[in-house]
Amino acid sequence: MSTIYDKLNDKQKQAVFTTEGPLLLLAGAGSGKTGVLMHRIAYLINEKHIDPYNIMAITFTNKAAKEMKERITNLIGGDGNFVWVMTFHSSCVRFLRRFIDKIGFDNNFTIYDSDDQRTLMKKIFKENNINSRVYKERAVLNIISSCKNELISPVEYMKSATDRYEKGAARIYEIYQSTLKKNNALDFDDLICRSVELFENCPDVLDYYQNRFRYIMVDEYQDTNTAQFRLIYLLAQKYKNICVVGDDDQSIYKFRGANIENILSFEDKFENVEVIKLEQNYRSTGNILDAANAVIKNNRGRKNKSLWTDGATGANIELRQFANADAEADFIIKDIKAKANDNFKDFAVLYRTNAQSRLLEERCVTLGVPYQLVGGVNFYQRKEIKDVLAYLKTIANGSDDIALLRIINVPKRGIGATTIAKVADYANENVISLYDAMTICENIGIGKAADKIKKFIAMIEEFRDKVAKKANIANMIEELLDKTGYIESLYDEGEIEGESRKENIEELVNKSVDYEDGELSLFLEEVSLVADIDRMDENADRITLMTLHGAKGLEFDTVYLAGMEEGLFPSAMSSISREDLEEERRLAYVGITRAKKNLILTSAKQRMINGETRYSLLSRFVNEIPRDLLDKHILDTEKKYTQRTYSYEEALPWENKAKPDNVKNTLSFGKQFKVERQKSLDYAVGDTVKHIKFGIGKVLEIVDGEKDFEVKVNFEKFGIKKMYAGFAKLIKI
């Protein structure tokens, strides 16, 4: 008798039927891991008779969670609706909405996105007279995020601080957290951290969820950070039926706090772990897989595995080099246009940096090729959308000062900055929220402005009554827009701009229709958790332009990897350490394995970067692909470089066209200079310095090494980097 498991290969079946105890499922790209997870859930319910209510499946994106939910219900029917299938953040929101009052918050908390965080930090800097020349808002927020990913509290960070800068950052971290609490708000990192805090401090709550989730599955486990690991570890401790699925070769989010050690050391965290490898690939041709295997095997920090397929060998990989970036972009878009036959959705162009998209976009427009840019301005970050959501947040949570400040005078209603400052001072002096201060503003001494504030507060209270009476969200938004005159104000910027913004608001209203009457909090939390990739329309007949980081989990018939050049990919930043270079190589592996049938690698001999023309060699990742897998179309002047090999110790992102013989001794940033040992440095630990590429940073450590001074710098935009002083050419500012 046939069963739903018959189509699975032997390793997939083993994974499905192994249900008790810890399981590490090493699932290579295109190995059918999602199908395995779905069949595993089906097996638990249909064959093991486990209540769907007791099964949890965690993933990273709303898109993946939605797909997983649909596939489960298609496989087993209505029981699939009772399985907990959510992202980490959505799961934590559910935990906290129910129990966060146990750790000192109200259950109607607001979730702050990155824009809200920056607004809050600006407010903190202003109110506390923090020197913005020493402390940059973005840099401090990065420090705070890193701390939260590692479950380091402000107190713990202060204890570990080694200098005045870190002590100051710890103090700002402390103020930031207390202000969040005052606003009854959490940032994204808090959703995980506060859930861990809840479980660790409230054994009864932890016990409740441990009994609820007797079987736990975590997808994309290689992308978890320390806080996420701790969350899952706590939930799994009682029954230990934990299955983590991932691929260490696709761990590419270190910059977001992902810790590859979580998957590499899983066997050390749990006892009697069974390990199963899924190496058979159902996506790509044999040649593409051979190329991917050849590249990734150069990494040391990985579990040994190799992708293979029963499918066709397929076409060789194309390698094309161009004189400049303009010619590269022109070829890519023309090549797609010639091959697409009005089926553009099968094509994707992937690149290392967002800046590379400009030339590609321009060529798409010029040549009339439809495209979607994934990674542009997020819909929910647009001004008009932020404004409407701020109104809704103020209605839902009166403690949210950030939301209130955004819309108190939008559209203009005669409540100026001076008035707001007086009310804010009163609120701070009396330790109450800004909204509460506004309700008694007649006592503050702001004259006629009090009437305008009172009118605003009355409007908000009217809408709160509507929410309490389960008003329809879409209708409420439209009424809100009408009462405030917001739509009319949009046209002050011009008819075309106003119409575009109006259309965006209409799309937000369309989104709200999906929610039941009165579900305002649910609507707000879900739109706050939407990722850029969730908005991608895979069915639209357009080519996809996106970064390599954004492409993980996707697949296309034909993939172009643009900018395969040293210094661009791998990035110049990765040359400092083996760990960073290995992360770049994993990114290359991800890019290669997005292709199903055709893979085209492109590079430019010269490219304009930061206003300078730079000359470059082919990426070492190209040279790691066996020659017999490549069809090369390389400029004659570059052929002598193509077989160059690289060591981890070399940090040579850019080569000077005029002097190729000096490649081992020079580095070019538009002009040549020799990397020589510095006799002395004109900066010290704690100083603020500037790097030609990485920008502004703070010196954390200086070590007199064998070759040169080794300098550790915390850059505002790029984080902590190590470099030789002679190489870095840091300038004290």
As annotated, the active-site residues are 33-34, 219-220, 250, 594
C-alpha–C-alpha distance, residues 574 and 41, integer Å: 40
C-beta of residue 184 within 8 angstroms of C-beta of residue 110: yes
What are 161's two structure tokens? Answer: 């601080």
- Element housing 601 (H / E): strand 595-609
Cβ neighbourhood burial of 589 (10 Å; 0-12, 13-18, 19+): buried
What are 110's two structure tokens? Answer: 């607001």
C-alpha–C-alpha distance, residues 724 and 678, integer Å: 9
Q: Where are the beta strands (DSSP E) in 616-727?
A: 630-633, 666-668, 672-674, 688-691, 695-704, 709-715, 719-724
C-beta of residue 37 within 8 angstroms of C-beta of residue 57: yes
Torsion on CA atoms 686, 691, 693, 696, rounded to nearest 10 = 40
What are 383's two structure tokens? Answer: 């001004």
What are 121's two structure tokens? Answer: 């930090």
C-alpha–C-alpha distance, residues 198 and 190, integer Å: 11
What are 233's two structure tokens? Answer: 């570890």
The long-range contacts involving 525-528, CB below 8 angstroms and separated by at least 24 positions, are: 525/90, 525/93, 525/97, 525/111, 526/90, 527/380, 527/389, 528/111, 528/113, 528/380
* Secondary structure, 3-state, 460-495: HHHHHHHHHCCCCHHHHHHHHHHHHCHHHHHHHHCH
C-alpha–C-alpha distance, residues 583 and 44, integer Å: 36
C-alpha–C-alpha distance, residues 22 and 16, integer Å: 13
Report which DSSP code applies to 545.
Answer: E
C-alpha–C-alpha distance, residues 377 and 464, integer Å: 31
Residue-level length of the chain: 733
Q: Compute CA distances 664 → 290, 310, 515, 555, 655, whole Å.
A: 31, 43, 62, 38, 10
C-beta of residue 324 within 8 angstroms of C-beta of residue 607: yes
C-alpha–C-alpha distance, residues 443 and 429, integer Å: 14
